[in-house]
Every structure is written in C-alpha cells, then in structure tokens.
Amino acid sequence: MRAVVQRVSMASVEVIENSSAEVVGEINKGLMVLLGVENGDTIDDAKWLASKIVGLRIFEDDAEKMNLSVQDVDGDVLVVSQFTLYGNVRKGYRPSFNRSARPETAIPLYEDFMAEIELLTNKKVPHGEFGAMMNVNLVNDGPVTIIIDTRNKDI
C-alpha cells in the first residue's frame, strides 16, 4: 500500500456524477490521505499503514516543532482511494497501472484501512467513493506532505 499524507487545515472530496458534484467527505484540521492498493497487499499492510499514519508526529507543538500526532491535536483523517499512485511511466508517456490491485482486492483493503483508522482514532473517517470520479479540495498546512509505502519503508 502507498499513501500520500498531507497535513491540512481543511479538505473535502466531491463525487461527480452526471455533471453535478456532491460533497461526500470533509474535515477541518487533520490529515488528507490518498491511498493506493498494490497487487499482493494484505490486511497486515492496511493495519501497519493506518498505525503509522495515526502516529505520525507532523503537527507543531507549542515550541513550533513537529512533535504531535493527529490524535494529539484532535484532528480528523479524510481518505480517498487513488489507484494512480502506482502509475508506472518507465516506458513511454502513458502510465501503466498494472501494479494497482483490482477492485475486488482493493476495495476490501481500502475499507479495512479506514476501519483501522477509526479504531485507532475513535472517530468516523470521511472518505471518497472507490472508483468514482472525484474532486479533491484541500488547504495543505505547511505545506507538509509525507509518502509512506508498506513495501519501501525507507521513503
């Protein structure tokens, strides 16, 4: 699994259907998470990644040091599925998404990831709609953006 985590002062996601957009999830202070699921990912990946994200100390304390987690600041987490995080452009200019898990695998892991975030934060997780055309709006606070990959823990 791969996540792009952004510290935000606000974020929302709209689902676009028949030329109209409906807000399906929104938060104020917290984390905006774009989540990609790769072939071979497991429930253990979802749990590890959720724990890592909830524990990230990327909010500033009183000394203006990034030392607080989303829980410490009573923030929220908004999650949006993003299969394009596994886009491969090694050959040519059109991305290949062969590494992205198929919906029958990705949807349950996406849901497991959100359930784990809810368990860890004791808060409902607003989210986008898997496979839908969406608009994501956010104000990146900092900006602070972190990339986490369950198969490449060095980044």
Q: Which sequence positions are flagged as catalytic?
A: 84
Residue indicated by tokens 């990339």: 147
User: 29 — phi, psi (to 5°)?
Assistant: -55, 130
Spatial distance between the Cα atoms of 119 and 71, rounded to a whole number of angstroms:
12
Please state, in angstroms and as integers, the Cα–Cα distance from residue 31 to each residue in 3, 36, 146, following that order. 11, 16, 10
Which structure tokens are listed for 78? 């908004």
Spatial distance between the Cα atoms of 58 and 43, rounded to a whole number of angstroms:
25
